[in-house]
Chain A
């Protein structure tokens, strides 16, 4: 089916895995603790959130009456989704620009660059999720069967990220201002996404509007699954899946259109 043409970059599996592995390992290369940092960093972040929000600010999540660390865990679960998205999108406009030799000097499947980026960002999200799960256990709670919904949920999120990533990576070659716009946009998005607050804390009128932000759905559902063992509404999930495929397909098509000019621009 034409809609799934965006999956064709995946035939370069070996190259994608190699580049992604290299990307992840380079982050910790030469450091004493090595890969352990990928667990230590989110662990410390979660510790800081717990301390600040439950001891310093004594903030409660919406109207819920919950124990210590509830806010921090909910915040953290939202941030995992947001950071995954932001890490990809922030780098997307530079992906092609940073590798001019891949464009001009060798025959390189450029379309895999956003995919590789997603994979290494996903590694971070996965380790952070492990820390989140650890935190949930520490709080004396359990995970439920709703966890299974994480698979379609994250698939959809990854597709959306690819789609936007392809679009921005292609456009970034022509519009060098793009990266500034994108990094500013992400800061704004951080606050317009229900990470620090539940959607239900908003006035009814805004609750509909906030779902125009594609991340709002993923942040909210990811949190519900982890924190409340509450599966997403199947209809909404289905719509999200289809929409994410359309976004990925569109981004990929635009990228393929734009790439013809890459070697002439760089």
Chain B
């Protein structure tokens, strides 16, 4: 009898799931050819795209010609990929890529990407130094957002997605468009 009761309970609990299942989704649609690319190239394209959806406070830039500085903390091919996009503009500004070897004290990064090769203590140290200044921090490691980062790449199946902690972004004075937020997995405190 206990079994039956529990079965009933579980069936009731999963009935909304069952309803979701029978909604005809893309399962029935014809599949287009699959586009694929190397992971670091897609991340570079994501980062470029992020700069279009994030508004930095005007005080972040010296003048209208000041580029968006993207600092890459990684020894991977991602820096090169982003450099290849240097000719592109985002919101009328050029993208300037700085790899970790040539970041100097005076550089004010608008976006910092933390690759897999960056260890936890260094990540924490930089995030602490960034504090609440308007820097979009993007990372790969599992605990990146918990450590105070704003955006983290997540892998879902063979595809990339991203999670955002909007509270951290807000505290940093960054404005992330609702469109970008709607595509992200929202983490952190509840609104």
Q: Do A and B come from one complex?
A: no
